[in-house]
Amino acid sequence: MTWSLVAGKDFEDSIRSRMVWAAVGIFVLLMAIVGLSASLGDLSDSSPMDIIVMFTNIGGELLVPIIALMVGYMAIVGERQSGSLRILFGLTHNRRDVFVGKLVSRIGVILFATLIACAAAVTLALGLFGTLPVASFLGFIAITLLLGAAFTAIAVGISAMTESRMAAMGGAIGSYVLFVMLWHPLVAGIYYAVNGKLAGLEAPAWYFFLLRLNPLQLYAETASSISDQFIYGLFGWQGTVENIPKSAMQDTSKLMLSNRLGGHVPFYLSDWFAPVILLLWIVVPAVIGYRTFQRADLN
C-alpha cells in the first residue's frame, strides 16, 4: 500500500464534486458572455493580452483560489470525522501515505479544473483575435496552475491540522480573508511603523517583497508584467492604504513595479522568482500540516 493508491482513489472521488464543476462552469459561461459582447463591439483597441487581464480579475483572484480551498479543506479532516482513517490505516497505509496521497490528489483536481478554465481563455482569445502570443499565454497558464496548487496545499495543510469540519472551513475562509483584505493593510502598517508615513508611489524593495509574499498580490503583479499593463485585481488596494497621487492612479503605467522602485529591480522581485515564492506556498503549508498530522491523537 502506497500514497499513490490513496491519491488515485481520492482523485476519482473528488473529481466528481458538483461544486467544483459548477464554479468552472460559471467561469466558462462568463468567458462566453464576455466573448459574445466583445465580438459585437470594436476590437481595434483590444489585444489578446486583455484576456489575461480579465482572467486575472475573475479567475485568478476569485474562482481559482476559492475552488482550490473548497477542494482541499475537507481532504483529511473529512476522513477523520467520518472514521475512514481507521479503514485506511487498516489497509496498512500510514499517515504519510494518507497525507501525501490526499495532497497529490487534491492538487491534481485543481490543476485539471484550472486547465479547463485556461483552455476557455485561450479559445476566447483565438476566437476574438485569431492569434495569441504563445509564450506569454504559456507563462500565464503556468503561474495560474501554481497559484491553484498553492491554495490547495494551504487548504490541505489546514485540513491536516484541524479536528472538525467547522475548524477547517474557518481556517480556509480565514486564509482567503487574510490574503484579500488584511495583507496589504498589514504591510502598509509595518511601513508606517518604520518610516512614520504611508508608502508613496516610490517605496523600498523590501516593502514590495512583503506585499509579494501574498500569493494573490504576486499573481496579479506577475500577470501585469506578462500582459504589459497594470492590473488592479478585484481587491486592489492601491490608493487606499498608500499615499499615491491621483495622477498615478489615472496613468496606471506608473503603478508598474519597475516604475515604483525607481531603479534596479532586485532578483526577488523579478518575474522568474515568482514561481519560487508560490512553490514555497505549496511546500511550507504541506510540511506544517504533515508534521501536525503526524503528532495528532486520532483516537
Tens of pLDDT, residue by residue, the chain (299 residues): 588 888 898 898 888 888 788 878 887 887 777 777 766 666 777 888 888 888 888 888 888 999 999 999 999 998 888 777 777 777 777 888 889 999 999 999 999 999 998 998 898 888 888 888 999 999 999 999 999 999 999 999 999 999 899 999 999 999 999 999 899 999 999 999 999 998 888 889 999 999 999 999 999 989 999 988 888 766 665 556 788 877 777 777 788 888 888 778 899 999 899 999 999 999 999 999 999 999 887 76
The whole-model pTM stands at 0.93
- CA 212/CA 98 separation, integer angstroms: 32
| Nine-digit cell string for 267 | 532578483
Is the Cβ–Cβ distance between 285 and 278 less than 8 Å? Answer: no
- As to burial, measured by CB atoms within 10 angstroms (0-12 exposed, 13-18 middle, 19+ buried), residue 272 is exposed
> Using the 8-state DSSP alphabet, how is residue 268 labeled?
G
- CA 106/CA 86 separation, integer angstroms: 21
Residue 162's pLDDT is: 93
Distances (CA, A) of 143 to 69, 187, 226, 246: 17, 23, 10, 31
